[in-house]
Amino acid sequence: MYSICINKMVRSHAQSFIGEVDPAFFIRHVVSMNFAGKVYSVLRGVEIAANSTTGTVNRILFIVYAVCMCLGMYWYTRFWSLESDVDSFYNGSDEHCLSKNSKLIIVGAAAFYMLFGILFAISYGLTNEPASLAFSFWSLFCFLNIVPAYG
């Protein structure tokens, strides 16, 4: 009985190798892969910020990013943790409190990751801090996966 209920609740694309890739797919993908990215960013960001050889501006950048990524984990858990949450986000109904502003939210998320991708690239150029390069690549990777979520 339990497996029947689960199968009815979760829509799967696993039955076909090639199929429709809709904007919701990209949100699900970003949420799935970026939970680990957010945890790493928070922990490594705090570590870099605590390093006495890191400049003040670089410390602030890592701390702000760590705080934003921590808040982002709450965002994911609150608004996109279930498949039905993502679907109702896109369908424009009142089922999801953010669905009426879905395009604006996607643009905001893309801008967030683009901005931090650029800031960490600049940070790497100025400090040669390897974490800056990693955070820049990760942010730009997230940006590239969020853009198709615009639909």
Instruction: List Cα–Cα distances, 54 to 62, 69, 89, 132, 138, in angstroms.
Output: 10, 20, 40, 11, 21
Query: Can you tell me the distance from the alpha carbon of 119 to that of 61, in angstroms, rounded to the nearest whole number?
Result: 8
Q: What is the pLDDT of residues 8-43, one digit of tens each?
A: 444 555 555 566 778 888 888 888 899 899 999 999
| CA separation for the pair 65, 98 (Å, rounded) | 23
Instruction: Decide if 105 contacts 124 (C-beta within 8 A).
Output: no
What are the residues whose beta carbons fall under 8 Å from the beta carbon of 19, sequence distance 6 or more? 13
| Whether pLDDT at 51 is above 80 | yes
pLDDT of residue 94: 65
Domain boundaries along the sequence of the chain = 23-150
Q: At what angle do helices 56-79 and 130-146 cross, to 10 degrees?
A: 30
pLDDT in tens, 52-104: 787 899 999 999 999 999 999 998 888 777 777 777 777 766 665 665 677 88
Q: Which 3 state secondary structure label does DSSP give 92?
A: coil
This prediction's pTM: 0.81
